[in-house]
Amino acid sequence: RAAHEGILRRQSARESAARTYARALPIVPVRARGLTIEGADGRRYLDCLSGAGTLALGHNHPVVLEAIRKVLDSGAPLHVLDLATPVKDAFTTELFRTLPPEFAARARVQFCGPAGTDAVEAAFKLVRAATGRAGMLAFTGAYHGMTAGALEASGGATEVRVARLPYPQDYRCPFGIGGERGAELAARWTESLLDDTKSGVPRPAGMILEPVQGEGGVIPAPDDWMRRMREITAARSIPLIADEVQTGVGRTGAFWAVEHSGITPDVMVLSKAIGGSLPLAVVVYRDDLDVWQPGAHAGTFRGNQLAMAAGTATLAYVRENGLAERAATLGSRMLTQLRRLAEEFPCIGDVRGRGLMIGVELVDPESAPDTTTDGPRPAAPELAAAVQRECLRRGLIVELGGRRASVVRLLPPLTISDEQATAVLDRLADAVATVAT
Ligand code: PMP
């Protein structure tokens, strides 16, 4: 207990003001397995943050540990820049095996710096080089990372070379109608911006989208809208970049979230779960976009052998054990139960998600709805923060997200059992009940 308090105190004094999770989650993890984290104070938690969706197999899954140990014990080098190795060969083979077949058939992979944001930068650089154009299309509420280019494309950023387009959603629809019509209007908006010759907006180098916005508040894009984006970009020779950093590796109930709509993007940006808990990021793209000269994209840490080995084990395990399908069935059951909870508690404005990427939006039950009909009530970030605190007291770790930090997010490992899922929902329901009264 004293060690726990000491570590928290020292770190909060020494770390930057930009600390995020560490503020809301004052715990000191010392051990972890599967869904469970144990703190230095001996308390145990169910971890539905999962390294912001990284831990597809949960903490310290035996197959991941074994893969890492095997490399360590083999005497293989741990760091070799971008040289070819058996470990890299195995990873690339497994990755290509999981990719949508039409995409994999003509795919090239570039290993990037360790984080998702590095792969986003690489994707932007690639499509700019391939098209000779500069602008980028991105969506309201998007999150692509914290380096300059990725940040520019993320919601709330000062737009420099990025044109912002409406991302469709039912709840808080930018056009106030939601559903298919709302999504169609969002698509038309995009079309008219691209075809508006009078405004002189130059044709962009690419469009980047998340099949489900994660940090933006768990907003799944409708499949029809995804297909419309594919048609609109294809008809104008604009490369489409699917950012599957968070949605990939079974999370949404398909191995890759683009499979739900059946589209084939030109570029895919992958990170988080592909490294099986360790840092790894790649950009994968169609071969005709491979216009780079040798050295055009580099980076010291492109060759993390441990991450590749852990990643190979994770990808293979998800594929062989049908964990994407498992995420789909368990996810829809959890959504149903959460929707029942929403009927009971008016402070839950919306429940949404796809697979095991789930969001519960907290709203102010006292305020009048935003619009004349039964539109959404104002977002309640303070209620969401209170739910997060109450969850923590009950031994449940959840993340907050959304444009106004009013969405409680669940990103459990795909290996979560039915009993554990029930425990998660019970604790969350209990936390909501406490906050609501
Ligand atoms: N894209 C998406 C969709 C993400 O969710 C994230 C991280 N939350 C990133 C990119 C950036 O990844 P990283 O934090 O590893 O740079």
116 lines ligand 1 (CB under 6 A): yes
52 lines ligand 1 (CB under 6 A): yes
What CATH number should be reported for the domain holding residue 354? Answer: 3.90.1150.10
| pLDDT band, very low/low/confident/very high, at 185 (cuts 50, 70, 90) | very high
With both helix axes pointing from N to C terminus, report the angle between 418-436 and 381-393 in degrees, rounded to the nearest 10. 130
Is 41:8 a contact under the CB 8 Å cutoff? no
Judge if 10 and 87 occupy the same domain: no
Count of the separate structural domains present in the chain: 2
215 lines ligand 1 (CB under 6 A): yes
pTM (2 d.p.) = 0.96
- Judged by average pLDDT, the poorest of 13-22, 157-166, 199-208 is 157-166
Total residue count of the chain as it appears in this document: 437
d(CA 34, CA 401): 23
Mean pLDDT, range 345-358, rounded to an integer: 97
Which numbered atom of ligand 1 lies nearest the CA of 118? 16
Judge if 354 and 233 occupy the same domain: no
Mean pLDDT, range 185-196, rounded to an integer: 91
Is the pLDDT score of 373 beyond 80?
A: no
Distance 271 CA to ligand 1 centre (A): 8
What CATH number should be reported for the domain holding residue 304? Answer: 3.40.640.10
Q: What is the pLDDT of residues 394-425, one digit of tens each?
A: 999 999 999 999 999 999 999 999 999 999 99
- Residues sharing a CB contact under 8 Å with residue 222, sequence separation 6 or more, in sequence order: 168, 180, 183
d(CA 96, CA 345): 45
Judge if 281 and 352 occupy the same domain: no
253 lines ligand 1 (CB under 6 A): no
Residue 251 resides in a domain: yes
Distance 117 CA to ligand 1 centre (A): 6
The pLDDT of residue 249 is 98
214 lines ligand 1 (CB under 6 A): yes
Each residue of 277-315: b (16+ CB within 10 Å) or e?
bbbbbbbbbbeebeeeeeeebebebbbbbbbbbbbbbbb
Retrieve residue 343's tokens.
């009927």
| pLDDT band, very low/low/confident/very high, at 370 (cuts 50, 70, 90) | low
Which numbered atom of ligand 1 lies nearest the CA of 114? 15
Best mutation site among 246, 251, 354, 399 for ligand 1 pocket (most ligand atoms within 8 Å of CB): 246
Which numbered atom of ligand 1 lies nearest the CA of 213? 3
d(CA 174, CA 176): 6
Share of the chain above pLDDT 90, in %: 86
Judge if 312 and 408 occupy the same domain: no
Q: What is the pLDDT of residues 275-306, one digit of tens each?
A: 999 999 999 999 999 999 999 999 999 989 99
Residue 24 resides in a domain: yes
Q: Cα dihedral angle (332, 259, 225, 220), rounded to 10 degrees?
A: 30
Domain finish residue from 286, 320, 354:
320
Residue 67 resides in a domain: no
d(CA 179, CA 168): 9
Which domain range does residue 247 map to?
A: 76-320
The pLDDT of residue 371 is 58
| pLDDT band, very low/low/confident/very high, at 392 (cuts 50, 70, 90) | very high
Judge if 255 and 342 occupy the same domain: no
Distance 120 CA to ligand 1 centre (A): 9
| pLDDT band, very low/low/confident/very high, at 157 (cuts 50, 70, 90) | low
Which numbered atom of ligand 1 lies nearest the CA of 271? 15
Judge if 83 and 137 occupy the same domain: yes
d(CA 168, CA 185): 8
Judge if 155 and 288 occupy the same domain: yes
Mean pLDDT, range 245-255, rounded to an integer: 98
Task: Quote the ipTM score.
Answer: 0.99
The pLDDT of residue 399 is 96
Residue 356 resides in a domain: yes
Domain finish residue from 276, 303, 320:
320
Q: What is the mean pLDDT of the chain?
A: 94
113 lines ligand 1 (CB under 6 A): no
Mean pLDDT, range 155-168, rounded to an integer: 72
143 lines ligand 1 (CB under 6 A): yes
Which numbered atom of ligand 1 lies nearest the CA of 147? 16
Judge if 368 and 261 occupy the same domain: no
Q: Is the dihedral of CA 259, 361, 374, 156 positive or negative?
A: negative
Residue 65 resides in a domain: no
243 lines ligand 1 (CB under 6 A): yes
Judge if 284 and 400 occupy the same domain: no
d(CA 186, CA 232): 12
Judge if 47 and 115 occupy the same domain: no
Distance 386 CA to ligand 1 centre (A): 25
| pLDDT band, very low/low/confident/very high, at 203 (cuts 50, 70, 90) | confident
Residue 69 resides in a domain: no
Judge if 369 and 404 occupy the same domain: yes
Is the pLDDT score of 235 beyond 70?
A: yes
Distance 126 CA to ligand 1 centre (A): 18
The pLDDT of residue 151 is 85
Nearest Cα residue to atom 12 of ligand 1: 116
Judge if 223 and 140 occupy the same domain: yes
| pLDDT band, very low/low/confident/very high, at 436 (cuts 50, 70, 90) | very high
Tokens 């726990």 belong to which residue? 4
Is the pLDDT score of 160 beyond 60?
A: no
d(CA 130, CA 114): 23
Q: What is the pLDDT of residues 20-58, one digit of tens each?
A: 898 999 999 999 999 999 999 999 999 999 999 999 999
Distance 20 CA to ligand 1 centre (A): 15
244 lines ligand 1 (CB under 6 A): no
Mean pLDDT, range 359-373, rounded to an integer: 81
| pLDDT band, very low/low/confident/very high, at 164 (cuts 50, 70, 90) | confident
Is the pLDDT score of 307 beyond 80?
A: yes
